[in-house]
């Protein structure tokens, strides 16, 4: 489904792919989608991918333009990823999805050049990966229960809520599963409604709540956290490391996504800043192929929760990389990101 390769310069090529979804996917603030677009890049043998989100003001078109802009400005020494990304940072401004694709390709390139997988490049223990959750998109309670039955292979569920029937949905799911459930409201609740709903959800064995309220309402998040017994994880409220200090007293943890933060270097920065503030950490994803998912999976020995199921929700994955063993992420041992 990819478009023809387009040549941005001597050394960046990119390709847009329509990822077809197994099921129409719906969350609280957006209509149902049948497919999502990603854009992959290649820089001197290293490959990366990004899944730009309109919610953050980016599309595959904005990423393409950003790649054309940065290609002639890339420094010659691509091994010095910090230097290259400093140039990318000043040149590309708010194009975080584009930055993420470039950063990912540079890491893949360096790992391949040195002959080591990313986890080894970073000194991480690949045995320490968590289990990923598997997402159940928003739908009628009976449809979500049916999807849950089909998710038998996955030991943890992430359930999208944010509708008047939220509690009814969780009741329907609890009729068919006793697995741990993470709930993601995708900004849909008011602080007061969140406190009320979370009190009920806790009775159904829900383990954590992601982004209950509006992204910019930090006081609302703080109110929810102070009046809830479940951990509150920020997603839409936290994009980059610089967002974390202001959030530290408002939530219990953060969801890091490469598409939001601009790549693996910034994700590492976020992990360190979050730990300094005593926060829990989840690594999440968009609808992505195994290329983007595997790159993010290399970070997971450092985090508490993984929600890396974007590649499991599509029918035309172009790559093979991270695999699952009863839900636990198994990192490929090949150099770089390690996808084929």
For every residue of 54-86, DSSP letters joined together read GGGT--HHHHHHHHHHHGGG--S-TT-HHHHHH
Contact status: 58 vs Mg ion (CB under 5 A) = no
Q: Which residue sits closest to Mg ion, CB atoms considered?
A: 235
Task: Name the residue with tokens 């953060």.
Answer: 254
Q: How far is the CB of 74 from Mg ion (least distance, A)?
A: 32
Taking residues 191 to 230 in sequence order and writing x for each that binds Mg ion by CB under 5 A, - otherwise, the string is: -------------------x--------------------
Contact status: 42 vs Mg ion (CB under 5 A) = no
Q: How far is the CB of 103 from Mg ion (least distance, A)?
A: 21
Shorter beta-carbon distance to Mg ion: residue 53 or 318: 53
Contact status: 307 vs Mg ion (CB under 5 A) = no
* DSSP character at residue 167: H
Shorter beta-carbon distance to Mg ion: residue 42 or 184: 184
Q: Are 58 and 97 in contact (CB under 8 A)?
A: yes
Shorter beta-carbon distance to Mg ion: residue 147 or 158: 158
Q: How far is the CB of 211 from Mg ion (least distance, A)?
A: 5
* DSSP character at residue 2: P
The number of angstroms, rounded, from the C-alpha of 61 to the middle of its chain's C-alpha atoms is 20
Contact status: 317 vs Mg ion (CB under 5 A) = no
Total binding residues for Mg ion by CB under 5 A?
Answer: 3
Q: What distance in Å separates the CA atoms of residue 240 and residue 247, rounded to the nearest whole number?
A: 11
Q: How far is the CB of 328 from Mg ion (least distance, A)?
A: 21
Contact status: 166 vs Mg ion (CB under 5 A) = no
Contact status: 288 vs Mg ion (CB under 5 A) = no
Piece in contact with Mg ion (CB under 5 A), picked from 40-48, 145-153, 176-184, 246-254: 176-184
Binding residue (CB under 5 A) for Mg ion from 235, 243, 288, 309: 235
Cα–Cα distances (Å) from 178 to 110, 204, 254, in that order, read 43, 9, 25
Contact status: 184 vs Mg ion (CB under 5 A) = yes
Shorter beta-carbon distance to Mg ion: residue 30 or 275: 30
Piece in contact with Mg ion (CB under 5 A), picked from 54-62, 63-71, 166-174, 177-185: 177-185
Q: How far is the CB of 162 from Mg ion (least distance, A)?
A: 10
Q: How far is the CB of 234 from Mg ion (least distance, A)?
A: 9
Q: What distance in Å separates the CA atoms of residue 229 and residue 211, rounded to the nearest whole number?
A: 15
Shorter beta-carbon distance to Mg ion: residue 14 or 132: 132
Q: Are 49 and 314 in contact (CB under 8 A)?
A: no
Q: How far is the CB of 307 from Mg ion (least distance, A)?
A: 8
Task: Name the residue with tokens 């930090």.
Answer: 218
Shorter beta-carbon distance to Mg ion: residue 183 or 337: 183
Q: Are 135 and 158 in contact (CB under 8 A)?
A: yes
Shorter beta-carbon distance to Mg ion: residue 260 or 298: 260
Tokens matching residue 245 = 């200090």
Task: Name the residue with tokens 């490469």.
Answer: 258
Piece in contact with Mg ion (CB under 5 A), picked from 86-94, 172-180, 183-191, 212-220: 183-191
Contacts of residue 32, Cβ cutoff 8 Å, sequence gap at least 6:
24, 25, 26
CA nearest 25: which of 225, 340, 313? 313
Q: How far is the CB of 171 from Mg ion (least distance, A)?
A: 22
Three-state helix/strand/coil letters over 79-129: CCHHHHHHHHHHHHCCCHHHHHHHHHHHHHHHHHHHCCEHHHHCCCCHHHC
Phi, psi torsion values for 333, nearest 5 degrees:
-90, 0
Query: What is the rounded end-to-end Cα distance, in angstroms, of the chain?
Result: 18
Q: How far is the CB of 215 from Mg ion (least distance, A)?
A: 11
Residues lying near Mg ion in the complex (CB under 5 A) are found at 184, 210, 235
């Amino acid at each position: 489904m990819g478009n023809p390769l387009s040549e941005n310069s001597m050394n960046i090529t990119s390709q847009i792919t329509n990822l077809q979804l197994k099921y129409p996917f719906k969350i609280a603030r957006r209509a149902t989608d049948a497919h999502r677009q990603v854009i992959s890049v290649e820089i001197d043998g290293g490959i990366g991918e990004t899944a730009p989100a309109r919610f953050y003001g980016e599309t595959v078109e904005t990423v393409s333009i950003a790649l054309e802009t940065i290609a002639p400005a890339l420094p010659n020494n691509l091994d010095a990823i910090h230097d290259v990304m400093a140039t990318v940072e000043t040149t590309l401004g708010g194009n975080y999805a584009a930055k993420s694709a470039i950063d990912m390709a540079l890491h893949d390139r360096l790992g391949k050049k040195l002959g080591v997988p990313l986890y080894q490049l970073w000194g991480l223990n690949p045995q320490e990966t968590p289990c990923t959750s598997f997402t159940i998109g928003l739908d009628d309670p009976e449809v979500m229960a049916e999807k849950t039955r089909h998710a038998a292979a996955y030991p943890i569920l992430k359930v999208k809520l944010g509708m008047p029937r939220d509690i009814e949905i969780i009741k329907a799911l609890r009729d068919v599963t006793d697995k741990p459930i993470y709930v993601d409201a995708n900004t849909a609740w008011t602080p007061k409604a969140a406190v009320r709903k979370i009190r009920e959800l806790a009775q159904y064995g829900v383990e954590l709540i992601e982004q209950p309220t509006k992204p910019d309402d930090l006081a609302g998040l703080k109110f929810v956290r102070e009046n809830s017994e479940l951990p509150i994880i920020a997603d839409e409220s936290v994009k980059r490391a610089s967002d974390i200090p202001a959030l530290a007293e408002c939530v219990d943890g953060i969801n890091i996504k490469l598409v939001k933060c601009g790549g693996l270097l910034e994700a590492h920065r976020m992990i360190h800043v979050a730990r300094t503030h005593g926060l829990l950490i989840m690594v999440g994803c968009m609808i992505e192929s195994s290329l983007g998912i595997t790159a993010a999976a290399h970070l997971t020995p450092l985090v508490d929760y993984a929600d890396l199921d974007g590649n499991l929700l599509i029918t035309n994955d172009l790559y093979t990389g991270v695999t699952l063993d009863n839900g636990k992420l198994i990192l490929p041992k090949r150099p770089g990101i390690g996808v084929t």
